[in-house]
């Protein structure tokens, strides 16, 4: 109508929550369990961006199709080959763990995606992705990515004790969970130690790697620390419960946010899902792995967790089971209440 303001349609890339992961080698099962935890609890539609070696692509396609339709309708998936747009592809592929550096190129490859949550394969969601996705709204005008600190206490932090390159803040950053506004990343010129005028994200990656490659230990995570050391105003730091790792409990509890609110995202780095060093982490992984999709969440997920945790109370991480259970219990109650409301609404007679 004349004089009426037009509201543009929401771009397709904003209509779902975008989740990216890079899987190479033996990470197929771990990745599928991570995606399962995402689908189990999230309410809004998900778009999976899976970067995988060619040999894993058919396996991902087959396994995801085996999930019940009540869950497959909650997501769409795209599987991409491993590619690096600048520099030596073999160098990038061998940097730290196989293919891990692929995550640095997501802003370049996913040109039609506005915002994205990247996670390592060894991550488990204990509450809806919707909740971390909402943190994008908290970014100020200069922030374009969010990560959690590598440690809360400098005296036990790796970067503060051993790093031979610049890193963010007093303890560095852990990049296993990284929320990104890709649009802002693509349009920003970043300060750096190479040239005074600033470089785009893609221009900066390979020269930065060449300069620091003899000093970095943790591959792409170290490069991200270097980038945000020079551009601290670009980073939103979220608290440790969004990237809870064995380090937060194996030296005594040092993540206050998890103590108060519970773990939101569990990050089982150091391979703890697959050995007996941290049985609490392993218990969570195996219970989610073994959960039958269409079964009752309390009966087949929460109660087995409680039972498994009783066997871990003798460990440093296991002595605080409420930290691991608080959010997952809250999430399951919410899922149950929503189903009851939908059921009652559908059957309500006027």
Beta bridge partners of 125: 265
Higher pLDDT, 5 or 285: 285
Rounded to whole angstroms, how far apart are CA atoms 317 and 272? 12
- Cβ neighbours of 203 (radius 10 Å): 16
Please check the confidence at residue 11 and state whether its pLDDT lies above 70: no
- Mean of pLDDT over the chain: 88
What does the pLDDT look like over 239-253, one tens digit per residue? 999 999 999 998 888
Rounded to whole angstroms, how far apart are CA atoms 272 and 263? 16
Query: Cα dihedral angle (237, 239, 242, 245), rounded to 10 degrees?
Result: 110
Rounded to whole angstroms, how far apart are CA atoms 267 and 34? 10
Across residues 168-189, what is the average pLDDT?
94
Q: Is the pTM of this model over 0.85?
A: yes
Neighbouring residues of 58: CB distance < 8 A, sequence distance ≥ 6: none
Higher pLDDT, 342 or 236: 236
Mean pLDDT highest for which of 4-8, 150-154, 170-174? 170-174
Burial grade of 339 (CB within 10 A; 0-12, 13-18, 19 or more): exposed
Domain with CATH 3.90.550.10 in the chain: 17-238
Considering the four listed CATH numbers 3.70.10.10, 3.90.550.10, 3.40.50.10470, 3.40.50.720, the one that applies to the domain covering 17-238 is 3.90.550.10
Rounded to whole angstroms, how far apart are CA atoms 19 and 299? 28
- pLDDT more than 70, % of the chain: 90
Which pLDDT band holds residue 343 (cuts at 50, 70, 90)? low
Q: Tell me the H-state helices in the chain.
A: 28-41, 57-65, 69-72, 89-94, 106-109, 129-133, 158-162, 182-187, 201-212, 220-230, 256-261, 279-290, 297, 303-310, 321-347
The DSSP annotation for 244-305 comes to: B-GGGTBTB---HHHHHH--SEEE-GGGTTSSSS-HHHHHHHHHHHH--TTS-HIIIIIHHH
Asked if 125 contacts 41 with a C-beta cutoff of 8 angstroms, the reply is yes
Asked if 336 contacts 301 with a C-beta cutoff of 8 angstroms, the reply is no
């Amino acid at each position: 109508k004349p004089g009426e303001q037009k509201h543009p349609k929401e771009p397709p890339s904003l209509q779902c929550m975008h989740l990216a992961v890079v899987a190479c080698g033996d990470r197929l099962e771990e990745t599928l369990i991570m995606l399962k935890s995402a689908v189990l609890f999230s309410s809004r539609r998900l778009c999976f961006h899976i970067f995988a070696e060619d040999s894993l692509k058919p396996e991902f396609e087959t396994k995801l199709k085996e999930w019940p339709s009540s869950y497959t309708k909650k997501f769409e998936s795209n599987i991409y080959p491993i590619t690096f747009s600048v520099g030596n592809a073999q160098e990038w592929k061998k940097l730290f763990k196989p293919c891990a550096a692929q995550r640095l190129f997501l802003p370049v490859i996913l040109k039609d995606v506005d915002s994205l949550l990247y996670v390592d394969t060894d991550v488990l969601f204990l509450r809806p992705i919707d909740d971390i996705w909402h943190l994008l709204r908290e970014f100020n005008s200069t922030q374009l990515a969010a990560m959690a600190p590598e440690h809360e206490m400098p005296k036990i932090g790796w970067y503060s004790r051993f790093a031979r390159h610049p890193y963010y803040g007093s303890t560095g950053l852990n990049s296993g969970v990284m929320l990104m506004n890709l649009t802002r990343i693509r349009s920003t010129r970043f300060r750096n130690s190479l040239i005074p005028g600033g470089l785009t994200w893609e221009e900066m990656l390979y020269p930065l790697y060449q300069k620091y490659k003899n000093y970095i230990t943790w591959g792409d995570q170290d490069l991200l620390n270097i980038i945000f050391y020079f551009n601290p105003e670009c980073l939103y730091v979220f608290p440790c419960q969004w990237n809870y790792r064995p380090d937060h409990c194996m030296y005594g509890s040092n993540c206050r946010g998890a103590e108060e609110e519970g773990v939101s995202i569990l990050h089982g780095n150091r391979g703890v899902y697959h050995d007996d060093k941290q049985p609490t982490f392993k218990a969570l992984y195996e219970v989610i792995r073994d959960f039958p999709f269409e079964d009752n969440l309390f009966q087949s997920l929460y109660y087995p967790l409680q039972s498994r945790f009783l066997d871990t109370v003798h460990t440093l991480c296991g002595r605080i089971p409420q930290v691991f259970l608080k959010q997952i219990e809250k999430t399951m109650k919410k899922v149950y209440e929503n189903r009851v409301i939908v059921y009652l609404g559908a059957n309500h007679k006027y």
